[in-house]
Amino acid sequence: MNGLTILLGTASAEVKAKLSGVLQGEGYDVDSAGLAPDLFARLGERTLDLVLLSDDLAETNVLDLTTRIHDLHPKLPIVVVATEPSVRDAVEAIKHGAYYYLEASIPDSDLLDVIAGALELELELIEEAEHRRARRLVSFEDLESIEAIDSIMRRHDFASSRLVGVLQDIQKEMRYLTHDALRHVAGRLGIPLPRVYSVATFYKSFSLKPRGRHTVSVCLGTACHVSGGVGILEKLERELGIKAGETTFDERFSLESVRCVGCCGLAPVFVVDEDFHGKVTQEEIASILENYE
Amino acid sequence: MVSFRMNRRTLKVEDGTTVLEAARDAGIYIPTLCYHPALESVGACRLCMVELSHRGRTGHVAACVTPAVDGSTVKTDTPAVKRIRKTVLELLIARCPEVAILRELGERLGVGEPPYPLENEACLLCGICVRACREIVGAEAIGFAERGAASEVLPPFAVPSARCISCGTCTTVCPARTFELSKVDAVGTMHGDSDDVRTRKCVVCDEHYTSS
Amino acid sequence: MKSPSDRTSSRKSLPETDVCPELASLGFFKSQRLLALRHRGLLNPEEIDEYIALGGYAALPKALFDMTPEEIVDEVKTSGLRGRGGAGFPTGIKWELARNAESKSGSKYVVCNADEGDPGAFMDRSLLEADPHAVLEGMVIGARAMGASEGFVYVRDEYPHAVRMITRAIEQAEDYGLLGSDILGSDFDFRVSVVRGGGAFVCGEETALMASIEGREGRPRPRPPYPSQSGLWGCPTNINNVETWANIPCIVERGGEWYSGIGTKESKGTKIFSLVGKVVNTGLIEVPMGMTLREIVFDIGGGVPRGRKFKAVQSGGPSGGCIPESLIDLPVDYEELAKAGAIMGSGGLIVMDEDTCMVDLARYFVSFLEEESCGKCVPCREGIKRMREILTDIVEARGKEGDIERLEELAYAIKEASLCGLGKTAPNPVLTTIRYFRDEYESHVLHKRCPAKVCKAMIVYRVVPERCTGCQRCVQVCPVNAISGPRSQPHNVDLDKCIKCGACYEICKFDAIAGDAIYIE
């Protein structure tokens, strides 16, 4: 036994016997289901490492099934085994979230190769997740944060056009956008992940890196520029020991420069969270920062 | 039908034909990079700038996204047009000095070494691969990330995308040959500089392919 | 939370006199004419009743019951109102295009552009915060004129208070039947929602703004098709700036003829400017078009503080240009500004004195635009980057002969070949500063001298021993311990250690015993 569990979805006893044999011979633990509801019950009750779906399940389209499983468990690799393979289905299956599309007639050694590859990918992702946990960051694995994201999307009616607003609210709640959060949003709003990623990296208000509890934004609008805004920014950089765009080690402050916060009459200005500090001098800065824990 | 002047000729084309398509049909040369006949034109590289005069107003427009207008006059090689193209091409060469197609265009347009510090990017950011992946393949595995001078073409998070079907389309449409299609073993790299990834086998020919 | 406006109230109060002065007797207010800002400071923006009590929502029933949509469009055309967001396209003609455009799905949209990105301008924020119903009323009238049933207010996320005010105003207007279905029993339906921007200056550009509303990254696309033909989700869409919308109720109520009586031949009405920088009275002002810069800067603004010499006004934000002292009698309208190489833009007027380095200012705007370029087209993405490199070399004393000409060559290509307005106007700050302050560029390039003593690579800080009382304030604030000297003895700046942060200069000038003992060479 290698400790890895594969869920086999097939209605055919023949396919089940053949694949179970091959997989068990390789040390995998195999569980199987012949109907979609059973399949989802298994998904809910035990930890699985991979799903192998045959296209012979009664009353269920294997592509729809792939999408549903992928939405629920975006990290769980899904391999589709086709008894009647076609190029079109292969492309579709991949687009629906499958890791691989195989012909049922493929040699056992190739099947095992594919499965090993899929599991390797998953292990990389697990390592990445553990790495994050070790750094005590907001972890998406917390069911709470999934629920929080879902409720944010609900407020926006799960409308794909509200992507920017959804990401803003997630950013406010979780202080930054995790990769998992972006994947989850892409899945639920039905937007291809590359588009979500483009949006998340295009706009300045989003961060894909952890942010501090307080955001210090130094205005470098024109009025602030001619009134010494750069000096204020440099003073803050020295005071906090970080450069603009960075976060202090204790995650207390993130420092950034912004282009005009619209109170040019008070230049030079810097903003901590939503508090505006106008007509500041370099000397006052340390005492202002003391107010933010 | 639309009738308009291009240089010293009168052209007649279907409604909705772009200035660039009309020029190509008439055998008049306009340089392009981000244009691909099978894809939606986006007017990104600005090499196809031409002078357009219509109703007493004259200005420069990108030929690939400007429909030919009845009664207008287009000039494709005025001194001003050449001056614009020269700067645009110099900027591109300075970004990607090693890309062959830029040097070829440089020879044709008489543009040599750019007067700027050279970078060494492989990608022109023309977006043809992104559009092909979305419009033709339908996989939408790659996209633009970041913005401005920091823009890049990437799969999400710069890791191999689960949406990529290793079809190789991006490699064949790329004018800079940033990607190359190669037959490989089961492990190779995909989309430029990302890490090794397990490649997929083509369901038709049974070979492993990847773009790198 | 402390909003910026809370803080302004804490500023010095007027000296006590026997009678309270009237607004009109104060230089700052005397020559202003308030139309868009008509309710400034007079109402609580959170209470719709106060807006109604001051005559608000009177234009709406007139537009709904006494006028046909065509008549509304005609009234706006007669008024001569032009887009207040920057380009100055005639609003009435824009409305007519959207009105006459056919929509395949039957939907049309109107949008209020409050993505105020120009550094130095804050009239959109102020209008939304102080008088949100005026903007909404304008939008409902516009929607009626163009046959739109849905509208969006696209606000910068950096303006949280403005977002709250406009959101609350929408809720109240819906409660009063002034928004939603069957408005005032007229059978006309119109809904408005608020969309927050994601932090991208380029989203002020119409096609980028629409992409952002649709949930995509804000990269502009080529025109045609124009938004009036194919905008949001492929439907005819009309986008106007906040200030434009806020003018509409006035025009409908008092007539286009009346409005066109204000201003100049080509530029009608009033314009809000944010008068900031090195000027005594800073803030938003609203004046008739055609007022001279001199009146604005010296009569309203009270001139340059601390006896410094006036040098230039920067108009129109990063896409605008610098207007030198020699053009101080320029009447401010769309045409005159364009002739001077600047633009109206959204109305930022930043006053500079002799302590502002024009090359450094050009570099500032260019690096702003470099960060904000969407990166789609080559001249804007690569060209602005190269301009910034050259300007950085110049201000860091690495300039070489030919740099100025290189900048002009780049400027030409960027202006002519860029895809959208951001790129097409990006060279303006460079071109105008070269045009009017070429000697400053030459001084940097040829003599490695910064006449305004701003560029760090070309200056040193020194102590005037005769003036220094040895108060040690500068020693305390120096972050790198570059200043030494015992108490009561003249201090000394170690030029090797000095990072030229200016902290000593600042404290000596305003806070030290002697004052002005540190100078910049």
Chain B to chain C, count of Cβ pairs less than 8 Å apart?
Answer: 94
Q: Is the Cβ pair C195, A264 closer than 8 Å?
A: no
User: Is a pLDDT exceeding 80 seen at residue A1?
Assistant: no
Interface of A with C in 249-288 (CB under 8 A): 258-267, 269, 274-276, 278, 281-283
- Chain B residues in contact with C373 (beta carbon < 8 A): 147-149
Q: Is the Cβ pair B148, C372 closer than 8 Å?
A: yes
Looking at chain C, which residue has its C-alpha nearest residue B82?
Answer: C413
Q: Is the Cβ pair A266, C4 closer than 8 Å?
A: yes
User: Is a pLDDT exceeding 50 seen at residue B196?
Assistant: no
Helices (H), A54-102: 62-72, 87-95
Looking at chain B, which residue has its C-alpha nearest residue A102?
Answer: B203
Query: Average pLDDT, stretch C302-330?
Result: 93
User: Is a pLDDT exceeding 80 seen at residue B162?
Assistant: no
Answer for the pair A114, A79: CB distance below 8 angstroms, yes or no: yes
Integer Cα distance of B178 and C385 in angstroms: 23
Among B125, B129, B200, the strongest candidate for a mutation testing the A interface, having the largest count of A CBs within 10 A, is: B200
Other residues' Cβ atoms within 10 Å of the Cβ of residue C262? 17
Looking at chain C, which residue has its C-alpha nearest residue A201?
Answer: C217
Integer Cα distance of B110 and B89 in angstroms: 10
**pLDDT one-digit tens code per residue, B59-87:** 999 999 999 999 999 999 999 999 999 99
Looking at chain C, which residue has its C-alpha nearest residue B48?
Answer: C417
Q: Is the Cβ pair C218, A165 closer than 8 Å?
A: no
pLDDT for res B192? 40
For residue C196 the two structure tokens come to 């927050």
Sorted by where each starts, the structural domains of chain C and their CATH numbers stand as 31-260 (3.40.50.11540), 270-353 (3.10.20.600), 358-447 (1.20.1440.230), 458-517 (3.30.70.20)
Alpha carbon of C41: minimum distance to chain B alpha carbons (Å) = 40
- Return mean pLDDT, chain A: 84
List, in sequence order, every beta strand (DSSP E) within C202-358.
Answer: 237-241, 270-277, 283-288, 310-315, 321-324, 348-353
- Calculate ∠ Cα C364-C366-C368, nearest 5°: 70
The SS3 assignment for C324 reads strand
Q: Using CA atoms of A259, A265, A267, A270 in order, give the dihedral in degrees to the nearest 10.
A: -60
**Bridging pattern class, strands C283-288 and C270-277:** antiparallel
Give me the helix-helix angle, C123-130 and C132-146, nearest 10°. Answer: 100
Strand partners, A33: A9
Answer for the pair B88, C417: CB distance below 8 angstroms, yes or no: yes
Q: Is the Cβ pair B94, C386 closer than 8 Å?
A: yes
Q: What share of chain A is helix, strand, coil (3-state, %, to 5)?
A: 50, 15, 35
pLDDT for res B202? 54
Closest Cβ–Cβ partner in A168, A195, A264 for C157:
A168
Alpha carbon of C350: minimum distance to chain B alpha carbons (Å) = 26
Answer for the pair C37, C284: CB distance below 8 angstroms, yes or no: yes
**pLDDT one-digit tens code per residue, B31-59:** 999 999 989 999 999 999 999 999 999 99
- The dihedral region occupied by C112, where left means phi > 0, alpha psi between -120 and 50, and beta the remainder, is beta
For residue A223 the two structure tokens come to 């009025």
pLDDT for res A135? 42
C125/A contact by beta carbon, under 8 A: yes
Neighbours of chain B (3+ CB pairs under 8 A): A, C
Q: What is the DSSP letter of C264?
A: -
Integer Cα distance of B24 and B18 in angstroms: 10
Residue A79's nearest CA partner among A17, A180, A4, A8 is A8
**Bridging pattern class, strands B9-13 and B2-6:** antiparallel
Sole residue written with tokens 């500068």: C474
B15/A contact by beta carbon, under 8 A: no
Sole residue written with tokens 């920014």: A233
Q: Which amino acid is at B85?
A: R
For residue A271 the two structure tokens come to 């903003």
Closest Cβ–Cβ partner in B138, B143, B147 for A95:
B138
Those residues whose C-beta lies under 8 Å from the C-beta of residue B140, and which sit 6 or more positions away, are A192, A194, A195, B133, B134, B163
**pLDDT one-digit tens code per residue, C322-365:** 999 999 999 999 999 999 999 888 899 999 999 999 999 999 99
Answer for the pair A218, A243: CB distance below 8 angstroms, yes or no: no
Q: What is the DSSP letter of C308?
A: P
Integer Cα distance of B200 and C289 in angstroms: 67
**pLDDT one-digit tens code per residue, C213-256:** 999 999 999 999 999 999 999 999 999 999 999 999 999 999 99
Q: Is the Cβ pair B203, A87 closer than 8 Å?
A: yes
Sole residue written with tokens 């001098």: A281
DSSP string over C65-100:
II--HHHHHHHHHHHT-B-TTSS--BHHHHHHHHHH
Strand partners, C276: C350
C409/B contact by beta carbon, under 8 A: yes
Q: How far apart are the first and last CA of chain B?
A: 45
**pLDDT one-digit tens code per residue, A115-131:** 887 777 666 655 554 55
For residue A75 the two structure tokens come to 């990290």
**pLDDT one-digit tens code per residue, C172-183:** 999 999 999 999
- Chain A residues within 8 Å of chain B (Cβ atoms): 85, 87, 90-91, 94-95, 97, 99-101, 103, 110, 113, 117, 120-121, 179, 182, 192-198, 201-202
Integer Cα distance of C496 and C478 in angstroms: 14
Between C5 and A49, whose confidence is greater? A49
pLDDT for res C2? 43
Strand partners, A195: none
Residue C351's nearest CA partner among C425, C442, C273 is C273
Helices (H), C346-427: 358-372, 378, 384-395, 403-417, 421-425
Answer for the pair C190, C140: CB distance below 8 angstroms, yes or no: yes
Per-residue pLDDT band at C478 (split at 50, 70, 90): confident
User: A92 burial class (0-12, 13-18, 19+ CB within 10 angstroms)?
Assistant: middle
Interface of B with A in 183-202 (CB under 8 A): 186, 198, 200-201
Q: Is the Cβ pair B143, A94 closer than 8 Å?
A: no
Q: Which amino acid is at C288?
A: P
User: B186 burial class (0-12, 13-18, 19+ CB within 10 angstroms)?
Assistant: middle
Give the full edge-to-edge strand order of the sheet including C310-315. C283-288, C270-277, C348-353, C310-315, C321-324
DSSP string over C14-54:
PPP-SSPPPGGGSHHHHT---STTTTTTTS-TT-HHHHHHT
Integer Cα distance of C73 and C97 in angstroms: 10
Q: Which amino acid is at C369?
A: L
C405/B contact by beta carbon, under 8 A: no
Q: Fold for B2-109, please state it.
A: Ubiquitin-like (UB roll) (3.10.20)
Alpha carbon of A86: minimum distance to chain B alpha carbons (Å) = 8
For residue C286 the two structure tokens come to 């609203």
A12/C contact by beta carbon, under 8 A: no
Integer Cα distance of C245 and C234 in angstroms: 23
User: Is a pLDDT exceeding 90 seen at residue A77?
Assistant: no
**pLDDT one-digit tens code per residue, A44-74:** 777 788 999 988 876 678 888 888 888 878 7
Handedness of CA A236, A239, A244, A249 (dihedral sign): negative
- CA C519, distance to chain mean position in Å, is 33
Neighbours of chain A (3+ CB pairs under 8 A): B, C
Q: Is the Cβ pair B163, A90 closer than 8 Å?
A: no
pLDDT for res A141? 53
Integer Cα distance of B81 and B109 in angstroms: 11
Answer for the pair C247, A230: CB distance below 8 angstroms, yes or no: no
Q: Which amino acid is at C310?
A: F
- Ranked by mean pLDDT, which of A174-178, A215-219, C442-446 comes out on top? C442-446
Closest Cβ–Cβ partner in A204, A264, A266 for C120:
A264
Integer Cα distance of C333 and C267 in angstroms: 6
pLDDT for res B63? 97
**pLDDT one-digit tens code per residue, C116-141:** 888 888 999 999 999 999 999 999 99
Integer Cα distance of C445 and C391 in angstroms: 10
C283/A contact by beta carbon, under 8 A: yes
Residue C203's nearest CA partner among C226, C216, C219, C222 is C219
Residue C362's nearest CA partner among A225, A293, A258, B211 is A225
**Bridging pattern class, strands A275-277 and A270-272:** antiparallel
B63/A contact by beta carbon, under 8 A: no
Closest Cβ–Cβ partner in C119, C200, C365 for A204:
C200
Strand partners, B198: B187
pLDDT for res B204? 54
For residue C19 the two structure tokens come to 């009678």
Answer for the pair A138, A149: CB distance below 8 angstroms, yes or no: no
Alpha carbon of B184: minimum distance to chain A alpha carbons (Å) = 16
List, in sequence order, every beta strand (DSSP E) within C444-505.
Answer: 461-463, 483-484, 492-493
pLDDT for res B200? 53
Q: Is the Cβ pair A227, C277 closer than 8 Å?
A: yes
Q: Is the Cβ pair B94, C382 closer than 8 Å?
A: yes
Residue A272: enclosing H or E segment and its boundaries? strand A270-272
Q: Note the pTM of the prediction, 2 decimals.
A: 0.81
**Bridging pattern class, strands C191-196 and C150-155:** parallel
Per-residue pLDDT band at C391 (split at 50, 70, 90): very high
Closest Cβ–Cβ partner in C374, C377, C417 for B84:
C417
Domain limits of chain B?
Answer: 2-109, 128-211
- Return mean pLDDT, chain B: 85
Looking at chain C, which residue has its C-alpha nearest residue A224?
Answer: C277
Number of H helices, E strands in chain A: 12, 9
For residue C98 the two structure tokens come to 């959207």
Total count of residues recorded for chain C: 521
